[in-house]
Structure formats: C-alpha cells, structure tokens
Amino acid sequence: MTARQWSATLAALLVLVLASGCGVGRGSAVELGPGAQIKVGVIPVADFAPIYIAAEEGYFADEGLNVKTQVMQNAAAIAPSVINGQLQFGTAAVPPFLGAVQKGLPLKAVANGTSIAADPAKDPSALVAGPGNGITRPKDLEGRTVAVNALSSIVHVTAAAAVKADGGDPAKVTFVAMPFPDMLPALARGAVDAASLVEPFHARSVAEGARVIAHPYSKVLQPNGTFTVVFTAQPFIETNPGIVEKFARAVDRASVEAARNPQKVGAVLAKYGKLPPEVFARIRVPMYSDKLDTSALASTGELMRGLGFLPGSVDVESAVWK
C-alpha cells in the first residue's frame, strides 16, 4: 500500500469510530430476559442502604430479579450509564436528579430512597463553623468560604438555601468543593470558614466540639418529603415495565424494613460502606420511607430555581414513574 492508501484507511477508521460513537444512547431500550443481570449504580452513603438490604435479605430474589450493586461516586457518573443501558437503575439525591431531567435526560424516579425528617434533632446534615471566627448563624457566612462536597449537590443547594432563609445573600458566599473527610482538617486549619457536612462526619465534628450553626436539610426542605431517589431511564421503563415494577416493590419493602430495623442498616453499612459499627451507633440515621413524594420534588425544584441552580422549571410529574 502506498502512503496515501494507508492514510485513507486510517482516516476511514477514525470516521467509523466517531460515527459509531454518535449512534449510542438507545442502549437502555433493550429488553431483558428473565434472570438477566440487573445492575444498580449506588452512591456509597447511608441513604441507599435499602438497596443493599434488599439484596442481602433476598427481596430482589423474591421478585425473581438478579441484582448486582455497583458503587459509583455521583449522579453525574451514574446517569450516562443508566441512559445507555450499562446500568439499569441508579441512585441520586433530588438536586442532581432534577438537574439532569431539566437538561433533557430521559430519567424517571421509580422509588423513594430517603425522606427529610421534620425534627432537626434527627437531621443528619449540619452547617459547622470553624473555631473562633465569630460565625454564629447562616447569615454570617456572607463574604466567607464554605466547603461543600460537590458543587450543585444537595449539600450545596441546602447550604445556600439556609443562608437565604436566614436573610443572607448566598451569592456573597464562596462555596468550594472538597471531599467530606477533608473538611474538618480544612476547618481546623482555617482554610474554610464553615463546612456543610453529613453523617458520619457530622457526628465526628460534634464529638470534636464543632459549632453547628444550622441543620440545612430540615431547615429548608419540605418535611417528610423525598430527599433521595432511585431512578431508571424512560426507554427502559417502556421495554421492561415488569422489571421496573418488581424492582421498585423490592426497594420499597427494604425501605420499610430499614425504617423499622436500624440494626440492619448498620449491618449493610459496615459490610458495603466500610462504616465501623461503633461509628454507626453514634450517627443520625436518615429517615427511610417508601413514599415517593412528587410535591417535595417540585418544591426542591423551585428552591433550586430561586437560587439559580436550575435555569428553568422542571416538569416533575414527567420525571416520576406512574
């Protein structure tokens, strides 16, 4: 072959790769046979313990489902895989889920993960101020730096909402993203002025004498409303309605069990989440519930829109299965 032919072959190959890349996106419409493996992308936090309980206690097996859990870091990583059928179900807190739906991703919530406890004493979230910087309430955070686990996450949205609810301007707060374990050292060092934490870091910060200035979740979100969801892709629902039905039923059953038996939550968190039992004994367990609450999704959506996290409104009804 001459150089020209070689180059032409190479170019043709590249174009082929590019073109095949553009054809993806319909993978979730594939119909799964009975016994086919169903993969769930799970974020390793306490909120999704029911998925593990359903697997451990055989609830999925009772429904005739062969489910495999897959640890993933966040909704941004899970959503594309669900859309393309690499995962059949995913987990997310409400804000990133609504963000994805608002951008036009064909996702639907099929089951409730956790809900918001109305009682601040049961709220696993906390805005914690650093030592000796005089911050006593969320409004004081104007002009300060606050650590959140990821930008536009539930932690970020609720912290900003808490500032606003206290009469402050969230736009004047500098939010920076860092993993939860890095927040307490950053606070101690004065690198950030406050941090928005969840369990198990909330319990640890309290044990170390940190000043909690607010519990953002219970302060700004609709009480008893949906907080995290289990979702799938619209094409998957169309081709596999039976699987969705069974899966949602098993997860709901596990949510009820989790609310009734916290020690089962502790057991799966120790096994899958590397959370030591003695730490679990000290943390505030999220409120597990099987009630997928559309009005709470709508209210969180409005909250996000008001704070500038969503450029437009979300059709919540179309984002929920059934």
Subset of 202-231 contacting other proteins (CB under 8 A): 204, 208
With binding defined as CB under 8 A, does residue 176 bind other proteins? yes
Q: Which of 145, 234, 239, 261 binds other proteins (CB under 8 A)?
A: 145
- How many angstroms separate the CA atoms of 14 and 186, rounded? 46
List the interface residues with other proteins, window 115-144 (CB under 8 A): none
Q: Which stretch binds other proteins (CB under 8 A): 49-57, 68-76, 211-219, 294-302?
A: 68-76
| Tokens 């890095």 belong to residue | 182
- Per CB under 8 A, the segment of 2-10, 134-142, 165-173, 248-256 that binds other proteins is 2-10
**Contacts with other proteins, 19-58, as mask; x by CB under 8 A:** x-xx-xx-------------x-x--xx-------------
Footprint (CB under 8 A) of other proteins, residues 69-88: 70-74, 76-81, 83-87
Query: Which residue's CB is nearer to other proteins, number 139 or number 204?
Result: 204
Residue in 273, 292, 293, 319 binding other proteins, rule: CB under 8 A: 273
Provide φ and ψ at 42, rounded to 5°: -120, 130
- Asked if 221 and 116 count as a contact pair (C-beta separation under 8 A), the reply is yes
What CA–CA distance (Å, rounded) separates 257 from 22? 43
The most distant pair of C-alpha atoms in the chain lies apart, rounded to whole Å, by 76
> Which residue of 165, 178, 212, 256 would you call a contact of other proteins, by CB under 8 A?
178
Cis bond leading into 181, ω under 30°?
no
Among 65, 100, 154, 155, binds other proteins (CB under 8 A): 100
Asked if 275 is part of the footprint of other proteins (rule: CB under 8 A), the reply reads: yes
| 62 contacts 56 by C-beta, under 8 angstroms | no
- Give me the least distance between CB of 184 and other proteins, in Å please: 5
| Separation CA 157–CA 256 (nearest Å) | 28
Report 227-266 residues binding other proteins (CB under 8 A): none
Minimum Å distance from CB 6 to other proteins? 6
Q: Does 294 bind other proteins (CB under 8 A)?
A: no
- Considering only residues 99, 113, 124, 138, which one is a binding residue for other proteins as defined by CB under 8 A? 99
Tell me how far apart the alpha carbons of residues 245 and 247 are, in angstroms, rounded to a whole number.
6
The torsion angles phi and psi of 111, rounded to 5 degrees, stand at -155, 155
Closest CB to other proteins among residues 17, 260: 17
User: Is 11 in a helix, a strand, or coil?
Assistant: helix
Count of residues that bind other proteins according to CB under 8 A: 72
Interacting residues of 151 by C-beta distance below 8 A, sequence separation 6+ = 175, 177
Q: Is there a contact between 114 and 252 (Cβ–Cβ < 8 Å)?
A: no
Candidates 150, 165, 206, 212; binder of other proteins (CB under 8 A) is 150
Query: Cβ–Cβ contacts within 10 Å for residue 235, how many?
Result: 17
